[in-house]
Amino acid sequence: GLAPEAQADPHFPYHSSSVKKQVRYILKNIEAICQAAGTSAKNLVRRRAMHVDLHEWSEAEEAWREGLGDRVPPTTTFRTPGPLSVPGCTVGYELIGFIPSEV
């Protein structure tokens, strides 16, 4: 299921954005995966974003820009009826990045 740090507080569901928490959690994991592969999330070159609710799109993009600034890769965004592969998750990404070669 959805990681606890990616969930909105059930006692204060309107106090924070669930999708922003999900994206921040995803970005943290993307960076860890990239680091393990010898690169960085700043080297992402393509992104497919799947949203269960497109009303969450702008908040998700805000979280990406908080994490990567203006280095957000070119993106194809679409709505999917869900559910996504992680129960409770409302956004998913398919990403392509590169590992810089040493010259």
Asked whether residue 42 carries a pLDDT value surpassing 90, the answer given is yes
The model's pLDDT over 48-85, given as tens digits with 9 standing for 90+, comes to 999 999 999 999 999 999 999 999 999 999 999 989 99
The model's pLDDT over 4-25, given as tens digits with 9 standing for 90+, comes to 888 877 777 777 788 999 999 9
Mean pLDDT of the residues in the chain = 92
Query: What does the alpha-carbon distance between residue 95 and residue 29 come to, in Å, rounded to a whole number?
Result: 12
Query: What does the alpha-carbon distance between residue 66 and residue 53 come to, in Å, rounded to a whole number?
Result: 21
- Tell me the whole-structure pTM to 2 decimals: 0.88
Positive or negative, the CA dihedral 59, 47, 78, 24 is: negative
The model's pLDDT over 90-102, given as tens digits with 9 standing for 90+, comes to 999 999 999 998 7
Task: Name the E strands within the chain.
Answer: 44-51, 75-79, 91-97
C-beta of residue 91 within 8 angstroms of C-beta of residue 19: yes
